[in-house]
Amino acid sequence: MRCFTWNTLDSNKKSENRIELKGKILASVSWICYFSLVWGNPLARIIAVANQKGGVGKTTTAVNLAACLAAADQPTLLVDCDSQANATAAIGFQKDPARKTVYHALILGEPFEKIFLKSQVDGLDVIPADKNLAGAAVELVLAESREYKLQTFLLPARQKYRFVVLDCPPALDLLTLNALVAADAVLIPIQCEYLALEGVSELLDTLMRIRRTLNPSLEIEGILLTMYDERTSLSRQVATDLRSFFGSQVFQSLIPRNVRLAEAPSFGKPIIFYDIHSKGAEGYSQLAQEVIANAEKRLGTGARSAHSGA
């Protein structure tokens, strides 16, 4: 398709081109999905770890879930969508101005093969981030089909991995929007405190709007209770309230408030490589098993549907 700038198109032409590109992207994904199900080659499940509230354990969850999935023989890609690049550092990569990152993918159109890195964890690759990603949120404002940049970039990854985990920034900006459009599902970490509950309704409203307009197949992977302290009645009450309201959408796994879990990023290691016997490692290992089990259930249902409709 020929590329146009916003300055050279009238509003009708811009709308037509956006609709055309959106249709081509969705058609490509649907075509690949159908043949992957029929011929037994499952596509990667893309999970965005998102919550616009900061300090609820998004990066900790993204890094450790990805590492635990890879350790369970599930080829996994971790994508750092946050300009703070905490996930990149937590998985063991030092700052490197010469390294290509998500910024180069979204703004400069660099292909997937030139950006992904092998991590210290077998079976886990990483798309890193750096401070330049903060500028991407501004530069994307005038970009053509700005909401689909990450989705297009990740198309090659869908057939290479079993899971793709997106670490989203603590804001509902264009970077988070790109992640939610590219994702199959959203995992929502919630700190076990009442103030952390306030942002959940806003996030759920945003997810509903995205499903209506940009990504109709977007699901909720689950709600994860983080920084849980079984010694306090507050944590127990918040957990009870969430389970009574959201039911089975809340993961059975609980991520405890754990010193070893907080120390691990400073050593550039996931918790299972820093202290496998810690409660934090146990919590994320259980979470990975839940995610794998849920994916297997969906894959079985999808494969039966594809064969019955053939």
Whichever domain contains 130, its CATH number is: 3.40.50.300
pLDDT in tens, 59-105: 999 999 999 999 999 999 999 999 999 999 999 999 999 999 999 99
Those residues with Cβ within 8 angstroms of residue 269's Cβ, 6 or more apart along the chain or in another chain = 92, 120
Q: Does residue 234 lie within any of the structural domains?
A: yes
Query: Who has greater pLDDT, 12 or 151?
Result: 151
What pLDDT, on the 0 to 100 scale, is given for residue 200? 79
Number of Cα atoms under 13 Å in the Cβ half of residue 94: 0
Tally of structural domains, the chain? 1
Task: Name the band, by pLDDT with cuts 50, 70 and 90, for residue 301.
Answer: low
**Closest Cα to residue 182, out of 214, 150, 137, 158?**
150
Those residues with Cβ within 8 angstroms of residue 286's Cβ, 6 or more apart along the chain or in another chain = 252, 253
Query: Who has greater pLDDT, 84 or 298?
Result: 84
Those residues with Cβ within 8 angstroms of residue 292's Cβ, 6 or more apart along the chain or in another chain = 69, 72, 74
Q: Does residue 232 lie within any of the structural domains?
A: yes
Q: Where are the alpha helices (DSSP H) in the chain?
A: 11-38, 58-71, 86-90, 102-106, 133-139, 149-153, 174-182, 194-213, 233-246, 259-263, 271-274, 279-309
Q: Does residue 4 lie within any of the structural domains?
A: no
> Is the confidence at residue 4, as pLDDT, over 90?
no
The whole domain housing 220 covers 11-309
Helix axes 11-38 and 279-309, enclosed angle (nearest 10):
90
What pLDDT, on the 0 to 100 scale, is given for residue 9? 37
- Range 154-182 average pLDDT: 94
Query: Who has greater pLDDT, 175 or 192?
Result: 175
Helix axes 194-213 and 233-246, enclosed angle (nearest 10):
20
The fraction of the chain above a pLDDT of 90, given in percent, is: 65
Q: Does residue 22 lie within any of the structural domains?
A: yes
What pLDDT, on the 0 to 100 scale, is given for residue 309? 45
- Range 278-306 average pLDDT: 84
Q: Does residue 6 lie within any of the structural domains?
A: no
Q: Does residue 210 lie within any of the structural domains?
A: yes
- Range 216-221 average pLDDT: 95
Percent helix, percent strand, percent coil in the chain, to nearest 5: 55, 15, 30
Would you say 265 and 90 are in contact if contact means Cβ atoms under 8 Å apart? Answer: yes
- Within 10 Å of residue 294's Cβ, how many Cβ atoms? 16
Q: Does residue 171 lie within any of the structural domains?
A: yes
pTM for this prediction: 0.83
Those residues with Cβ within 8 angstroms of residue 243's Cβ, 6 or more apart along the chain or in another chain = 250
pLDDT in tens, 100-139: 999 999 999 999 999 999 999 999 999 999 999 999 888 9
pLDDT in tens, 30-45: 444 444 443 445 689 9
Q: Does residue 281 lie within any of the structural domains?
A: yes
Residue burial 130-145, b: 16+ Cβ < 10 Å; e: rest: bebbbebbeebeebbb
- Range 252-271 average pLDDT: 95
What pLDDT, on the 0 to 100 scale, is given for residue 41? 57
Spatial separation of the C-alpha atoms in residues 117 and 135, rounded to whole Å: 22
Write down the mean pLDDT value for the chain.
Answer: 85
> Is the confidence at residue 251, as pLDDT, over 90?
yes
Spatial separation of the C-alpha atoms in residues 25 and 147, rounded to whole Å: 12
Task: Name the band, by pLDDT with cuts 50, 70 and 90, for residue 52.
Answer: confident
